Each structure stands twice: as C-alpha cells, then as structure tokens.
Structure 1
Amino acid sequence: MQALMDSIPDLTWVKDTQSRFQFVNAHFGKVFGRHPHSFIGQTDFDLSSAGQAEGYLADDQAVMESGRLLRREEIITGEGGKIGWAETIKVPVRDQLGRVVGTAGTARDITERKAAEDLVRHLAMHDYLTDLLNRPGLEHRCQAILQGARQAGQGVALFFIDLDNFKNINDTLGHGVGDKVLHQIAERLRAGLGAEDAVGRLGGDEFVVILGGIASRSAAIKQGNLLRRQLEQPLEVDGICYELTCSMGMSSYPEDGRDYSALVRGADIAMYHAKNHGKGHLAEFNAQLGADSLRRMAMERKLKEAVRRDEFFLNFQPQFDLASRRIVGVEVLLRWQNEELGLVPPGQFIPVAEQSRIILDIGHWVLEQAMVQNLAWARAGLPMLPMAVNLSALQVHQHDLDEQIASLLRQHAYPADRLELELTESVIMDNAIPVRRQLEQLRRSGVRISIDDFGTGYSNLGYLSRFPLDVLKIDRSFVTDIHVRPQQQPIVQSIVQLARAFGLQLVAEGVEREAELDFLADLGVERVQGFLLARPMSAQQMAELLAAQQDLACQAGRP
C-alpha cells in the first residue's frame, strides 16, 4: 500500500479526528521538501498560514460530521511561500464498526490549468493583437459604465474610430508594420483613460472608446476632438515617421441610446458620415443620420434583390468624332428599374452599392454584358466600336482584377482593344502602386485605360507619366458654357496641352450647345459626347443609330 501511495503524483494523506497527519505519500514530502515521516503528528497549522490551516480544519470537520466526500478547488501555499492551486478531494475514514476515525485526501496541482483558464477568459474578452477589449469585452464593460451613469445621473459618450487609409500601410509596407502602428494607436488610446472609461478594438483599424461621467454633450465633443488630435500626432515605426488621420463618430447616453448596441450603432453611422464627407474629423450622431442609415439599409436590401431578379440594364451613349460627327465609341451606363421604386437614379444607388460591396457583383455583370452586347451588334453586321465601362474603386482595388477581365475576354472571345476602362483620378491615386501594376497588365493585353472627370480629383499631374493611360475625359463641369466662362477656358486649354504632351486622346463630356462644340473644336478636342449629339439610349436604339450611320457612309461611298 505504501508503494502504491508513493507512486501517485498527487499529494496524498490520512489524518486522525484531530486533523493530525497519520500518513503522507512521497509526493507530499517532495512538494514541501521534507521526508514523509517528518509530517506524522503535525497539523496544517505547522505547514500553512493560520488562515489556510483554519479552512483545511473546517473542511476536515465537515467531512467527518457529514460522512460525505468533499471536493473543492483552493489556493495552497507550499514550502517557501509558493502559491498555487489545488483540486482537493477529502473523504471520511471509518473503522470496522463504521465509525468515522479521521479523513483521507488527495490534492492535485492545477496551477497550470487555472492559468490556462484565466488566459482563455482573458482572450475571450480582449483583442489578441493590442490586448484592448474586444467586442464582448466592450459590451460587458459598457453595461457597467452605463449602470454607474444611471445611478449618478451622468452621461456617457461612445466614439467609433476608424483610421483613414490604413489599408495603404498594410498593402505597401506589410502587416508587420501595420501591427506595430496599431500597437502604438492602442497605447495612445489606453493612456489617459480614467476608471470610468473603456477602450477596445473591434478588428482591423476600428476602435471604440467609451467615456463615462460626461457632464454634457459639448464636453464629450471636446474630449473626442482632443482624442482625435492625440491619435493624429506623428508616430514612428522602425525609424520611419507616419502621419495618420482618423474619422470618428460619436453617440451619447441617454440622447442617442440607452444600451451598448444602440450607442455603437449610432457612433458607427456617424463615423461613416465623417468618412464620406472628407475624413479626418468627428461627426455626431443625430436623428437625420439615423433616418439616412435606415434608407441606405433598405436600399441595400433592394440592391441584393435586384441582383437576384436581374433588374439592371444598360444604356449606351455614343461618342462622336468632332470633325466628322461620326460615332467612334460608346460609353456604357448602368440603369436600375425597380418595381416599387421605379427608375432609380445612379447617384442614389451606386454609393450604396459601393459601400455594401454589392458593386463587385454588379460591376462584373456590367463588364460581361457590355462585351456580349458589342458582339451582338457585330454579328448583326454593325461596327464593333470601343466600349467604355466605368470601374468603381472597389473593383480597381481587387488584387485579381486583371485576371477577372482576362477571363471574360477569353470566355467571350472579345477583342481587348474594343474594351476601354474608365477610372477617376482619386481611384488610381489611392493605393497607387498596386493599381498601376494592374493597369499595366491590362494595357499590355490591349485594353485601353481612360481617366474620367479629369481635373476634378487629385490633379496630381505626375501620375499622367507614371500610369499607363490612353484617354483623358474632360469633366462636364468645365465644358458647360465654356464659350461664355473665361475663367474656365484656360483650364480646358491646359488639359488639351497636357493630353497632347503625353500623347493622350481627348473626350469632352456633357456637350449640350453648338457654341460649346465650336469652342472645343477650336481647341483641338478630338471626341465629344453629350445631349447635343445623342442622349443615352437602349441597345436597340443604339443599333438603329449605328445602322443609319453605316447606310449614310455607304451612300457617300465611304467604307
């Protein structure tokens, strides 16, 4: 029996009715650094602190009085004051007549298990990268902050923070640098918070700060702007200095919500408002923003249904050679006809489609349908003209955009030189290096690249030489009434000179008057489009117009 007890890797013992040790095993002696026989006749008061010993004695008495097994997890103190955890089991010891004559027990060291459990509990409530609170942790902490605010009659402010253009750091310098930036941002947010406050990371570059004990909404706005300025101070990673801006949304208790879900939803809506109106500032949630958000959500649901129900269709606007007035190209225009909403203007649904990423599915459909339609015209004996298709920022920033388009070209046997991709200045300048690589690959395959609305974006002329471009489209805001707006004329003249210097073709948009057309002709603009020459039209109307032009050319003896 002694050999069996000594083989057990747990503390094992037997005590009499006075809680004096009658037997301990070898492991018991090893833990305390003593020979097992030296414990005989001693009590827990000889081994542990008075408080712990009294607890052990009480457990012994409870086992002997109840005659039942007792199991508990408890803190133990070993030799030298080492603190740990043990899972203890105690049972009564009986004689041949069934009388309780002592207790026997085992104690298993579960210190490592308890540490692992503590770590699991911590990770369940904290972000793995920054050690800030995560979503569940924020909600739990916010509930406590709100409860304290209700009792004290004070306010609470919740800030939803998104770093502007943080994706550029990850994409250009790698996630290692991005993680270090996030660490520093987390430390700045953590510094200066009081006992009534909380900070957490929801994921990516999104953070939430909750400030308790707020006296007024204006005080909350003041603290929020102070926090924003602290975050926008330059930071250094691996010897390189970075300057970041952030967009912030604020909601407050009790005005904007009485629980965490309502507050974080309101602050998130306000943050997106700040993001969509210039970035780098703080926006407050209000009822109007809430109503706008509900409308966007309803629009998003209808857009998803529209994709499934095939409610989109294409219109086509001809582009004309200014000298001959012949159609030399076609711009594809997306339209949406909804049974409930009617014909929805693109300005209403395109931003929602981009924000919800539905534009990726829609954009792919537009590209494919444009190719299919152009091929259908060609099979009908009509000329296959270059087809210009607008790309959204989300489409352009897909890492496999060139592969997607190449796949469509192969699938439909569509000639690459009859596809023209239209992008805005801001789209190509945002995340410029990966975008340039994609465009270079597309242009090598024969696809033409066009800059839409030139002059309204970054106006960073350096990109004209760095990016593979074929066409500049002069924005309609410069074309409208150009013949009577002398302040606009030098701008258009400069654009024409730039296009010539870089060997780019020019297209003027929005031409609605003969006087505008004449002025553009004098400047040397080659191509135009606008209501003066042709409005957007259906595929059938476009086919009829191309056929009529073809008939006229044949009558005139032209090919």
Structure 2
Amino acid sequence: MQALMDSIPDLAWVKDTQGHFQFVNAHFGKAFGRQPQSLIGQTDYDLSSCGQAEAYLQDDRQVMDSGTLLRREEIITGEGGKISWAETIKVPVRDQQGRVVGTAGTARDITERKAAEDLIRHLAMHDYLTDLLNRPGLEQSCQSILQQAQTSGQGVALFFIDLDNFKNINDTLGHGVGDKVLQVVAERLKGCLGASDAVGRLGGDEFVVILGGIASRLAAIKQGNLLRRQLEQPLEVDGIGYELTCSMGMSTYPEDGRDYHALVRGADIAMYHAKNHGKGHLAEFNAQLGADSLRRMTMERKLKEAIRRDEFFLNFQPQYDLASRSIVGVEVLLRWQNEELGLVPPGLFIPVAEQSRIILDIGHWVLEQAMSQNLAWGRAGLPMLPMAVNLSALQVHQHDFDEQVTNLLRQHAYPADRLELELTESVIMDNAIPVLRQLEQLRSSGVRISIDDFGTGYSNLGYLSRFPLDVLKIDRSFITHIHEQPQQQQIVQAIVQLARAFDLQLVAEGVEQEAELAFLSSLGVERVQGYLLARPLSASQMAELLGGQKGVA
C-alpha cells in the first residue's frame, strides 16, 4: 500500500481525530521539503500558517461529524511559502465497528488549470493587445458608474474615440508598429483616469472612455478636450516619431441616454460627425445629428430589395489541414454588390440587417444557396466538403430554427454532415436553454456546431461542457503576428489546452504569414484558413481549386 500511494502524483495522507498525521505519501513529503516519516505525529499547525491550518482542521471536523465526503478547491502553501491550487478530497476513516477514527485525503495540483481559467476569465473582459476593457467589460463598468451617478446625482460622460488615418500606419509600416502605437495610446488613456472612470478598446483603433462624477456638460467637454490633447502629444515607437490626431464623440448621462448602449450609440454618431467634418476634434451628440441615422435608413431600404434584385452573392474561403495542406472545409462568406452603393463591406450592412431583422431572410437565403452550391460541386464530380455558415443571433433565437434547417436539409437532400453552423459566444449565452435544445437536435442529425471568434466574447468555460460543440475557431486577432507576441501565444496555448480537454477540433483564422503557420503547427492546431493559403474565392474559382482534390471528402 505504501508503494502504491508513493507512486501517485497527488498528495495523500491519513490523520487521527486530533489532526495528527498517521500516514503521508512521498509526494506529500516532497511538497513540504520533508521526509514522509518525519511528518508522522505532526499536525497542520506544524506545516502551515495558523489560519490555513485552522481551515484544514475545520474541514476535518466537518467530515468526521457528517461522516461524508468533502471536496473543495483550495490554496496550499508549500515549502518556502510557495502558493499552489489543489483539488482536495477528504473522507472519514472508520474502525471495524464503524466508528469514525480520523480522516483520509488526497490533494491534486490544479495550479495550471486555474491559471488557464483565470486567463480566459480575464480575456472575457479585457482586450488582448492593450489589456484595456473590451465590450463586455466596458458595459459592466459603465453600469457600475451609472449606478453611482444615480446615487450621487452627478453626471457621466462617455467619449467614443477613433484615431484619424491610423490605417496609414498599418499599411505603410506594418501591423506590428500599429499595435505598439495602440498600446501607447492605451497607456495614455489609462493615465488620464480617476477611480470612478473606465477605459476600453472596442477593436481596431476605437476606444471608449467613461468619466464619472461629471458636474456639467461644459465640464465634460473640457475633460474630453484634455483627453484629446493628451492623445495628440507626439510619441515614439522603435525610434520613429509619430503625431496622431483623433476624432471624438461625446454623450452624457442623463441628457443623451440612461444606459450604456444609448450612450455608446450617441457618442458613436457624434464621433462620425466629427470625422466627417474635418477630423481632429470633439463633437457632442445632439438631436440634430441625423446623418448616420439617415444612412442606416437608406441602407435598410436597399437591403429589403437586395434579395429580390439578386444583389447578394457568396464567396468561399478554403480551410486547410495543417499536416497535409489539403482542403478539408469551406467557410461561406456573404457579399453585397449594390448598383448605387457598390460593394458594401459586411461590417456596414450586417449590423443594419440585424437591427432591422432583415437578417432572417438573408440568413435563410445564405443557407439555401450554400447547400445548392455544394450539391452542384458534387454533381460535377468535385468533393463535397463541410460547408461552414455563420449564423446571426436572431436566426438562432427563433423558436423553430432547428426545424427550418432540418427542412432545408430535407428539401435539398443535403447530407447533414456537410453542414457546419458557426455561432459566436454571445449567441450561445443569450437565451441559453432554448438554444441548447435546438443545437442538440441539429447535432443529433449530423450537423456540426462551431464557435466562431473564440476568446473575444464571454469565454464562459461552462458552455464548452454543456453545449453540443465540435469546433473552436480561434479569432484572427490572436493569430496576427503570434510568433512575435508572447501574450497572444499564452492565450492561444490556453485555448488549445481547453479544446483538447473538451475534445474539440481547432481552426485558426486569419493566417497570413508562414511564421504564424509554423507556430500554430507547433501547438498542434489541426486546421487553418487565411490569405496565406487562399483568399475568399468565387464559386467558379473554388470549383477550380477543388478540381485538384477530386475524390477527397
């Protein structure tokens, strides 16, 4: 028994009713830098701080009094004060008459797992590049600041900040330099904040600053201009000097809105007004700023006509197996070509389509067209690969969404295992139980389920075990220059560990450099997509590419 217990990598021990150690295994002794035999007869007070020892003995008493197993995660202080996390299990020890005569326990080191969980939790609320708050983190902080304002009767100012012409830095000097500039901007913004303020990055070169305790709108304007001047101070990166300007929009509580979303929307409209009227200054939100609303209304009207006019079309981006460099899947990308607006970026029309619920019709059209195209490739003797289709939250939250997909599969005689539905983390977390049931129904029929842009939303570890998932797609923001970014490497390594723990396939998006590809390969990421391997292709271009892989399915 001694040899068996010494062979396990966990701490194991037996105590009497007074808390004296009657047995410890070799790993237990090693954790405290002692020979196991020297610990016999000692108590937790001899090994740990008084507070920690008392907590251990209190657990022992609970186990002996209840006569049942106790399991908990706790901090253990080992040799030299080393802190680690352990999953501890304690059980009562009984004699032949059934009387409790002590306790026995094991403790497994879970420090690495806890670190990975902490990293994911931090990631859920913070931007990976600047360590500022991200969208969920900003919303949470803003709610707290607004609650304080309601109590104090003071105002709140929200500033939406966009760096002017920042794209030129990325295009001319590379994203590495651009990232360093963003980090400097983030540090400057943090240096302007007080205890009741918050700052976050929404993505790209867009930042939000929330200032609490504002006495008046005039005071908010003064604070905003101070922020702007601070950001426009010359900066230096890698020995090169830069001068930045920024366009800022401001909204205030309670005049312009009473919640985070209303304030962000108002400040965003004001920021675009500033950018469209000379850049480099601060604009206040007011009722007269209808230009953005008019644009959205115009786009909404044209979106309603787009399907009837056959203005939508699909592009296809191949997914490659990293080991064999063969195509193993295809992601469907929606595109819109309007006679008046030209080729409209998805980032512009998708939000309008979702807000107006037109996305429901568009989403149904995309699913049907994707199936039809894949079947057409199959009839032409080309391989029918799994087709990944992005879904809107509105689509998934329909009560009969699973029936709609099932009916399409039946109508087109389309093989379910050649359809992959991509959802964002927020789609899963909102209205979670009905979504879970529908996804379980679809997955039982053979449809694959993937999480798109993993790590940029809620990153709640619970859904990885509860929801019927097959694939995690690592967001491109973590892949860009990953070979040069230790922090991004840690994040991706944590995601890889989680995927392996839950037996999920990994797909890395946005691979544009061989060095990125090599690093992902070293981590064991199975699949990749990105401009390095193939840009989005038309149906005919995709067919030509698939022609070189006939027989692969």
Matches within 5 A, 1:272-421: 272-289=272-289, 291-310=290-309
For this pair of structures, how many residues does the alignment match? 324
Q: Tell me if structure 2 keeps the 8 A contact 1:11–1:106.
A: yes
Q: Match for residue 139 of structure 2?
A: 139
Aligned equivalents of 2:306, 2:41: Cα separation in 1: 83
SS of structure 1 residue aligned to 2:288: helix
Aligned equivalents of 1:29, 1:3: Cα separation in 2: 14
Per-residue deviation, residues 123-177 of structure 1 (Å, max 9, x unmatched): 1111111111111111111111111111111111110000111111111111111
Per-residue deviation, residues 396-442 of structure 1 (Å, max 9, x unmatched): xxxxxxxxxxxxxxxxxxxxxxxxxxxxxxxxxxxxxxxxxxxxxxx
Per-residue deviation, residues 466-506 of structure 1 (Å, max 9, x unmatched): xxxxxxxxxxxxxxxxxxxxxxxxxxxxxxxxxxxxxxxxx
Q: Tell me if structure 2 keeps the 8 A contact 1:296–1:352.
A: no
Q: Match for residue 187 of structure 1?
A: 187
The TM-score with structure 2 as length reference comes to 0.56
Aligned equivalents of 1:354, 1:106: Cα separation in 2: 57
Q: Tell me if structure 2 keeps the 8 A contact 1:300–1:353.
A: no
Question: How much has 1:280 moved relative to structure 2?
Answer: 0.8
Q: Match for residue 215 of structure 1?
A: 215
Question: How much has 1:271 moved relative to structure 2?
Answer: 0.5
Matches within 5 A, 1:66-77: 66-77=66-77
Aligned equivalents of 1:165, 1:351: Cα separation in 2: 23
Q: Match for residue 85 of structure 2?
A: 85
Q: Match for residue 233 of structure 1?
A: 233
SS of structure 2 residue aligned to 1:133: coil
Q: Match for residue 419 of structure 1?
A: none
The residue type equivalent to 1:229 in the other structure is R
Question: How much has 1:243 moved relative to structure 2?
Answer: 1.2
Question: How much has 1:357 moved relative to structure 2?
Answer: 5.6
Q: Match for residue 56 of structure 1?
A: 56
Q: Match for residue 242 of structure 1?
A: 242
Matches within 5 A, 1:457-472: none
The residue type equivalent to 2:272 in the other structure is Y
Per-residue deviation, residues 336-380 of structure 1 (Å, max 9, x unmatched): 9xxxxxxxxxxxx8699799867xxxxxxxxxxxxxxxxxxxxxx
Aligned equivalents of 1:249, 1:355: Cα separation in 2: 24
User: What percent of counterpart residues are identical?
Assistant: 79
Aligned equivalents of 1:30, 1:357: Cα separation in 2: 60
Aligned equivalents of 2:182, 2:31: Cα separation in 1: 45
The answer on 1:8 being equivalent to 2:32 is no
Aligned equivalents of 1:261, 1:107: Cα separation in 2: 46
Aligned equivalents of 2:146, 2:342: Cα separation in 1: 35
The answer on 1:167 being equivalent to 2:172 is no
Q: Match for residue 114 of structure 1?
A: 114
> Are the structure 2 counterparts of residues 3 and 31 from structure 1 closer, same or farther at C-alpha, using a change threshold of 3 Å?
same
Aligned equivalents of 1:76, 1:264: Cα separation in 2: 44
Q: Match for residue 501 of structure 1?
A: none
Question: How much has 1:296 moved relative to structure 2?
Answer: 2.5
Question: How much has 1:295 moved relative to structure 2?
Answer: 2.9
Q: Tell me if structure 1 keeps the 8 A contact 2:142–2:198.
A: yes
Question: How much has 1:308 moved relative to structure 2?
Answer: 3.6
Question: How much has 1:311 moved relative to structure 2?
Answer: 11
Per-residue deviation, residues 8-55 of structure 1 (Å, max 9, x unmatched): 111100011111100000001111111111111111011111111111
SS of structure 2 residue aligned to 1:68: coil
Aligned equivalents of 1:244, 1:163: Cα separation in 2: 7
Question: How much has 1:192 moved relative to structure 2?
Answer: 2.4
Question: How much has 1:216 moved relative to structure 2?
Answer: 0.7
Q: Match for residue 554 of structure 1?
A: none
SS of structure 1 residue aligned to 2:18: coil
The residue type equivalent to 1:149 in the other structure is A
Question: How much has 1:81 moved relative to structure 2?
Answer: 1.4
Unaligned runs of 5+ in 2: 312-337, 350-553
Q: Tell me if structure 1 keeps the 8 A contact 2:217–2:252.
A: yes
Q: Tell me if structure 1 keeps the 8 A contact 2:192–2:227.
A: no
> Are the structure 2 counterparts of residues 143 and 352 from structure 1 closer, same or farther at C-alpha, using a change threshold of 3 Å?
farther
The residue type equivalent to 1:157 in the other structure is A
Aligned equivalents of 1:72, 1:239: Cα separation in 2: 52
Q: Which has the larger radius of gyration?
A: 1
Per-residue deviation, residues 288-347 of structure 1 (Å, max 9, x unmatched): 22x4443322211112234444499xxxxxxxxxxxxxxxxxxxxxx99xxxxxxxxxxx
